[in-house]
Structure 1
Amino acid sequence: MKFKISTGACFIFFSGLYSNLLLPAMELQAQNINIPIVSQHNALVLQVDGNKNLSTIYFGKKLLDQAEYNNIPELYKQGTDYTGILNAAYTPSGSRNLLEPAITVTHADGNNSLDLRYVSHTITQVNDDVSLFSVVLKDPVYNFLVTLYYKSYFREDVLEQWSVIENKEKGAVILQKFASANLYLKAGSYWLNQYHGDWAKEMQPEESRLTHGIKTLDSKLGTRTNLFQPSVFMISLDKPASEDEGTVLYGALEYSGNFRTDLELDYQNNLKIISGINNYSSAYTLKPNEVFTTPAFLYTLSFTGKGNASRKLHQWARNYQLLAGKGNRLTLLNNWESTYFDFNENKLAALLKDTKKLGVDMFLLDDGWFANKYPRNDDHAGLGDWQENKQKLPNGIASLVKEANNNGVKFGIWLEPEMVNPKSELYEKHPDWVIKQPGREEYYFRNQLVLDVSNPQVQEFIYGTIDGLLTKNPDLAYIKWDCNAVIYNAYSAHLKNQSHFYIEYMRGLYKVLESIRAKYPKVPMMLCSGGGGRVDYAALQYFTEFWPSDNTDPLERIFIQWEYSYFYPAITSSNHVTDWGKQSLKFRTDVAMMGKLGFDIVVSRLSDHDLQFCKEAIKTYNAIKPKIWQGDQYRLSDPRAGSIASVLYVNEDQSSAVIFNYLVNNRYNEGSKMPVLLKGLDPVKKYTIKEVNLYPGTVSTIDALKVYSGDFLMKAGFNPDVNAERPSVVLEVNEVH
């Protein structure tokens, strides 16, 4: 069975579709074979030695002369490599290796050792930007193979790496560990920037110097796996990287389940990064002739700081990975904070009129619209019973979709299809579909349990729920897919081998999502998981956007959105204006504009000026959103380093930009005391700067007629005049023709 994780891993059948350069196995002499995997600025160089060991000899700036990569190993005098495979491209265990392995197996005869030697490699030119490298490794004693895949995106300087493990032995082999990638870095010191958090406290950064031994970033939650620790991270070489200076590597596993990244600083002061599916409680039995494909590990290396790395990753995501990365997104009004579970058709009809009045594209009906025997009036009942609640919606979803159309807006709906309440008809009818340990007391997260998505019947049920809604309501325009519980008491009544459970759950989920996208390729879907509990690039190939946090306090959101922006482009981030926080409606709206704008407010309670502001803000947003969604992002002023936050988005030809500026420190007399240095403009071009998104009745302090050169704005800067009276300032920069 092939474990297909992402479009980045759709490689098995490339040969035949494109012309290949096959370098067959040959008798290796003393001469080494180099395999340079290059992009616009970077090179990862693998080397095969005379004993057919595959090693990483270089990862850094691309050299002009490829022959000179041979000179690199002799430059390092770091002591004895007792194993001969410290810098292995994919480190096996149980033979010569003495440090953390990328792969550990138990052979059919019970032997725990593995040795991987080079057999051949293939280079496929996918297009003018993308190249695919594959390197076949085999154990000299056992008929066991690993193929390493490296997908290079030349212009973006991005690499995806994964492994395909194949058992050609006569009996089953148990995979004890099965990483996607095994990187090897050399530097004087290494600085890790990692993230932690909890509900409403997502993406809290921590930076520390790596010391000798192993630092592990991982999750064992089963679902909602990024709740406490996301799988994204940064490694700075020699010193902590800043926005525009320093060498930094961004890493991210394209996987929505349990992950594990080991960062091992070895006795020679080199850093090994091993990342993949978490092997916790997941020893995998690989039958004869069976293939196991790992998810892709994504990384990019920048020599000019974090900002450059972000822009590379954003460009890659929009071009290759995101669903409709160059497409449109819908602004919306959500009912959740207006009604919670307490609504009916009349209330919703009024909200649909408010949606039209506000000027957004769509109305989103959130939790509480379903279940009859155990109606969904709070979060204790109804999950899994996806029929319209007859008391709340006697005429069903169809009447609401029709009413939305009559009001000139679209209609979307909330679902949590992987979950079930014990108080539900689904639980009563199919207790074997629920993840729970037989004989043990059930333990709940948000009063609910998780369905066993490894079970094909459950997969069909989830697919049927989505398909049924969209078939009955072809004008249904949007789905918010939530996932609020982690997995306790992991056990599948369907599976014979429980150690396969966590892996088979994710396979089942991806299978459902692939089926939905095969039939409904363009229906927008939000990836929601109690906030940022499930945000990764494997999931984002199926979803148009994600929900960063349930915390919509705009001051908190500045920090949360700032950290997400290192790894994910603005077009993926759903940001809603709500009543959280003490800031003004303008401040809340300005913060939400830095991504995909939405509203979760009671429109009928807005004052005339507030309503006028919101309507004009949506018009302003519609005019500037192409720059936000598709432009290059520059973080100008770090909210953790001073009193203001400032972020700029500039379009491709550098003719226009938008800058968001916020006061994040309300102490006396704080504000933008110093100019902010702009970035990403053309130094030769002339620009004007005007303030946009003003509240009705206010006058800007910015001179919109004054002309500046790009050179001046990037070297001398510009002061947005942020202060307690002007805590949120949005500026539009336009070229003067």
Structure 2
Amino acid sequence: MEIVEDTYLVHRYWGKKLTSYHFSNRPPLKKRTFAAAPIAEKPEVSPEFLPFEFPYPHQGDFRNSAVQIQQANGDELVRFCFQSYEIKNGVNQLSDLPHARGADEEAQTLIIYLSDQIAEIELALYYTIFADSSVIVRSSKIKNIGTRPIKIAKLFSASIDVRYDQQLSTTFYGTHQKEFQLNRSEIQHGLYKIGSSRGASGPLYPPYIALSKGADEFRGEVHAMTLIYSGNHEIILERDQYDHLRMQAGLASETFSWQLNAEETFYSPQALLSYSDRGFNGSSQSFHRFFTDHLISPAWKNKERPLLINSWEMTYYDVNHKRIIDLIDAAADLGFETVALDDGWYGKRNSSKTSLGDWTVDTDKFPDGLKPLVDYAKEKNIGFGIWFEPEMISPKTELLQKHPDWVMRSKNYEPLLGRNQYVLDLTNPEVQHFIIETVAKTIMELGVSYVKWDMNRHMTDPFSQQQTFESTEYPHRYMLGLYRVLNELTSAFPEVLFENCSSGGGRLDPGMLFYFPQTWISDNTDGLDRQQIQYGASCLFPISSMTGHVSDVPNHQTNRVVPFKTRAALASSTNMGYEMNIAQLTEDEKKAVRSHLKEYKQERKLIMEGTFHRLQSPFEGNTCGWMFLNKEQAVIYLFRNRYQVFDLSLLIKLPGLDHHALYQEETTRQVYSGSELINCGLALENPKGDCIVQKIKLKKIEAESV
């Protein structure tokens, strides 16, 4: 960074480590007649050309700003000037937002202070770096140092200005049951914007963007950015007339504002910036390590996750005591470690139209309650989990009759139903307390070890019936309320595994990862669609944070029939579980499941803690491949989806292996050099039939003599 004219904070470089910097890439300034020039005697100095660290409006920079403030007199003009900086040990821990974790000796934080003395506003920019990571943590803070209130209309977390150099942009798009689809495109002149106004990060455009030039999975530079936030957000990419590129991430400006009274402060969510000169795999692995070491709860960082069988696709709402007893018996016999009771256990919940909010056990289905089931599971050495959707409420419930003012709605219009339910008003502290108390009571009374936290609809009426703030403050206030609930529960029960779900990956983002160490990434368990979903999600999220289940066929979402071996391999590439009626398996099916669970347990540590490499993209062809690798061994999966008679064989290259080592393949006992597997690849048979998978296990046996 550089301070220009003792005023402007500008960006000079973000990339590979430098030995020293002497402004070699600083362009000479040149006067342009149509550009604003604040300094009369220096007409060449114009904000229109400067690569700002945090741009603000109405200064001659006509690109998208990162902050917008309205003063008490209605004036929207602010002019921030550089004031000072300081460097502190440790990270900036935000009390009401998820944030990067780290001890004082692990990190340092640079704080740059800008101020507008006329408006009496201070802007602080935070940059945190870690000794063990290339990720930079960025955030911003506004402080009202005056005596009158101000209104923040926009506040981003990070903004980067670079030169356009034929880069491509990569983002995600998606929908329910088709999350994390990769979108890679050329960058045109103008403003490109993605984000969410749904009240959640959403499956459509999760917070992620990457710039790359000449990059593939293994080579080339990638600059990527994401946001530790779970609500409305926006990602901006702007290419201007001078071929400058501006990349930004932060709160969605159209659905955000915040009144800031005298001496109050407001923090933006934290953004994470990752640079890689090893392609998209290098970028992903940087995020994976950072999330594992500095975002996921330390209680679950390296803790073994249980092999789970979930009741949903076995029973749907038709759960009862006998069926869950049968499920526990089958689970114990086959080698599962936890049984999860999904939706349908409470109120009169026989469909999606009723009972959310009435979190009392349905005694018609469970005459003796749920505690005998938990105790029975423990006798079988099986953990027990339970499903909740605590942010929602159904019509015609006792809770709604008792607290009609707890529903998210405006004062003038009837709230809209979504999935036959309303959203509870989490800006209301009473609602927050109710959810905390309800979930905590269930955990304590039953002794469950796992909670699946679902959220199945988005905001359509973002208002509180007790609202004393502007309506554009509501989405962020809701998210702060949710974060308070999650923080209290996960802090009170660190031994309980909380799993995030929002009709699958509808709210999978780094913010939720702070509280939930794993997420059910899609309701779609189809053995073909899951390849793209898992491949795309791995661009940002570590494998330990993804949950995948083996489900029955025909698949309940697509009606597609995919062989068990392929479905098992896909689930084995995540936090693995099952989603089928294991109580009615044939003897041959039981044998296959037992073998699968045993094999996964042997490889679980490698899959959860090893380095993950994407090898072949399902977005680009007929195959999908990835590898789990540590210093001693590797497990590779290659999925070939459609048989082509002209493909006589398959070939997969294995970048990431030790170039100077020898590896033995487990099945054939054949020995290969790391260098040949990296550069020449491994030839495989191409059997007839569709949706096949090949698994290769390599063991490092010795260093190759030079």
TM-score of the superposition, structure 1-length normalised? 0.88
Partner of 1:598: 577
Alignment partner of 2:206 out of 201, 211, 230:
230
Residue 685, structure 1, aligned to residue 661, structure 2: yes
Q: CA deviation at 1:279?
A: 2.1
Distance in 1 of aligned mates of 2:634 and 2:474: 48
| Alpha-carbon separation, structure 2, partners of 1:442 and 1:518 | 33
Q: CA deviation at 1:129?
A: 4.7
Residue 360 of structure 1, CA deviation: 1.1
- Kindly provide the amino acid, as one letter, of the partner of residue 157 in structure 1: S
Give 1:727 deviation, angstroms: 1.1
Q: Report if the CA contact (8 A) 1:108-1:170 is conserved.
A: no
Please point out which of 312, 332, 336 is paired with 2:308.
Answer: 332
1:619 is aligned to 598
- The counterpart of 2:236, out of the listed 262, 266, 269, is 262
Change in 2 beyond 3 A, CA 1:384/1:681: same
Distance apart, 1:457 and its partner CA: 0.3
Instruction: Give 2:524's match in structure 1, choosing from 539, 551, 569.
Output: 551
Alignment: residue pair count: 668
Q: Which amino acid aligns with 2:515?
A: Y
Query: Which residue in the other structure is 1:42 paired with?
Result: none
Cα 1:646–1:720 change in 2 (3 A) is: farther
**Which residue matches 1:434?**
407
Tell me the CA shift for residue 54 of structure 1: 1.0
Q: Equivalent residue for 2:84?
A: 120
Q: Cα distance 1:628–1:77, how it changes in 2: closer, same or farther (>3 A)?
A: farther
Q: Distance in 2 between matches of 1:670 and 1:132?
A: 57
Give the TM-score taking structure 2 as reference length.
0.92
> Which residue of 61, 72, 77 corresponds with 2:25?
72
Aligned pair 1:54/2:14, yes or no? no
Partner of 1:194: 171
1:417 maps to what in 2? Answer: 390
Does 724-733 or 262-271 show the bigger shift?
724-733
- Which residue is 2:483 aligned to? 510
The residue number in structure 2 matching 1:23 is: none
Match of 2:616 in 1: 637
Q: Name 1:33's counterpart in structure 2.
A: none
Name stretches of at least 5 consecutive residues in structure 2 with no aligned partner. 38-45, 91-103
Report whether the alignment pairs 1:527 with 2:500: yes
Equivalent residue runs for 1:254-293 within 5 Å: 254-293=228-267
Paired with 2:624 and 2:685, the residues of 1 have a C-alpha distance of 12
2:460 paired with 1:483: no
CA contact (8 A) 1:108 1:169 kept: no
Correspondent of 1:731 among 687, 696, 702: 696
Per-residue Cα deviation, 1:330-353 (whole angstroms, up to 9, x for no partner):
110111111111121011111110
2:40 counterpart residue number? none
Distance in 2, matches of 1:169 and 1:724, equals 74
Question: Once the 2 structures are TM-superposed, how far is the Cα of residue 366 of structure 1 from its aligned partner?
Answer: 0.2
| 2-structure distance, mates of 1:502, 1:342 | 35
- Structure 2: how far apart are the matches of 1:612 and 1:235? 48
Are the aligned partners of 2:544 and 2:608 in contact in 1 as well (CA < 8 Å)? yes
Given the alignment of the two structures, is residue 111 of structure 1 paired with residue 83 of structure 2, yes or no? Answer: no
On the 8 A contact 2:548/2:577 being kept in 1, the answer is yes
1:644·1:671 contact (CA, 8 Å) conserved in 2? no
Equivalent in the alignment of 1:10: none
1:285-434 pair list within 5 angstroms: 285-323=259-297, 324-371=300-347, 375-434=348-407
Q: Find the aligned partners of 1:211 and 1:264 in 2 and give their Cα distance.
A: 9
Is the 2:217–2:281 contact (alpha carbons within 8 Å) kept by the matching residues of 1? yes
Aligned partner of 2:468 among 492, 496, 501: 496
Structure 2 residue corresponding to 1:179, chosen from 151, 156, 161: 156
Range 155-164 or range 452-461, more displaced: 155-164
Amino acid at match of 2:687: N
Deviation at 1:282, TM superposition (A): 2.3
Alpha-carbon RMSD: 1.8
- 2:403 maps to a residue whose letter is H
**1:189-226, CA deviations, whole angstroms, 9 ceiling, x for partnerless residues?**
23111222211111122222111211111110013x32
- Structure 1 counterpart of 2:699, one-letter code: N
* 1:36 alignment partner in structure 2: none
- Counterpart-to-counterpart distance in 1, 2:32 and 2:664: 59
Superposition deviation, residue 534 in structure 1:
0.3
Would you say the 8 A contact 1:249–1:301 is kept in 2? yes
For the residues of structure 2 that align with 1:632 and 1:418, how far apart are their CA atoms? Answer: 36
Instruction: Give me the whole-angstrom Cα distance separating, in 1, the residues matched to 2:32 and 2:624.
Output: 47
Q: 1:585–1:610: 8 Å Cα contact kept in structure 2?
A: no
SS in 1 for 2:649: coil
Contact 1:343 1:392 in 2 (8 A): yes
Letter of the aligned partner of 2:27 in structure 1?
E
In 2, the alpha carbon distance for the partners of 1:546 and 1:590 equals 19
- For 2:428 and 2:696, the matched residues in 1 are separated by 52
Q: Which amino acid aligns with 1:183?
A: I
Whether the aligned pair in 2 keeps the contact of 1:661 and 1:720 (CA below 8 Å) is no
Flag the 1:668–1:710 CA change in 2: closer, same or farther, 3 A. Answer: closer
Q: Residue 78 of structure 1 contacts residue 268 of structure 1 at CA under 8 Å; is this kept in 2?
A: no
Alpha-carbon distance in 1 for matches of 2:219, 2:626: 18
Change (3 A) 1:139 1:672: farther
- Given that 1:662 and 1:722 are in contact with CA atoms closer than 8 Å, whether structure 2 keeps it comes out as no
Query: 3-state SS of the aligned residue for 2:408?
Result: coil
Alignment of 1:23-34 (within 5 A): none
Q: Whole-Å Cα distance in 1 between the matches of residues 397 and 221 of structure 2?
A: 54
The answer for the alignment partner of 2:119 in structure 1 is 142
Matching residue of 1:28:
none
* Contact 1:450 1:487 (8 Å CA) reproduced: yes
- Secondary structure of the equivalent of 1:560? helix
The Cα of 1:94 is off from its aligned counterpart by: 2.7
Give the letter aligned to residue 102 of structure 1: A
Specify the code of the residue in structure 1 equivalent to 2:591. Answer: Q
List per-residue Cα deviations over 1:38-70 (Å, max 9, x = no partner). Answer: xxxxxxxx111233221112222222123x2x2
Helix, strand or coil at the partner of 1:506: helix
The equivalent of 1:247 in structure 2 is: 221
Name 2:100's counterpart in structure 1.
Answer: none
Q: Distance in 2 between matches of 1:79 and 1:663?
A: 57
Equivalent AA in structure 1 for residue 680 of structure 2:
A
Q: Is the contact between residue 151 and residue 160 of structure 1 (CA under 8 Å) also seen in structure 2?
A: yes
Q: Does the Cα contact within 8 Å between 2:563 and 2:692 map onto a contact in 1?
A: no
User: Once the 2 structures are TM-superposed, how far is the Cα of residue 426 of structure 1 from its aligned partner?
Assistant: 1.1
Inter-partner Cα distance in structure 2 for 1:603 and 1:494: 48
Separation in 1, partners of 2:239, 2:233: 20
Q: Distance in 2 between the 1:509 and 1:670 partners?
A: 55
Tell me whether 1:582 sits opposite 2:555 in the alignment. Answer: no
For residues 543 and 189 of structure 1, the distance between their equivalents in structure 2, rounded to whole angstroms, comes to: 38
Structure 1: runs of 5 or more not aligned? 1-45, 692-702
Task: For 1:689, give the aligned amino acid.
Answer: E
Q: CA deviation at 1:152?
A: 1.4
The alpha-carbon distance between structure 1 residues 433 and 350, as it changes in their structure 2 partners (threshold 3 A), is same
CA distance in 1, matches of 2:585, 2:321: 22
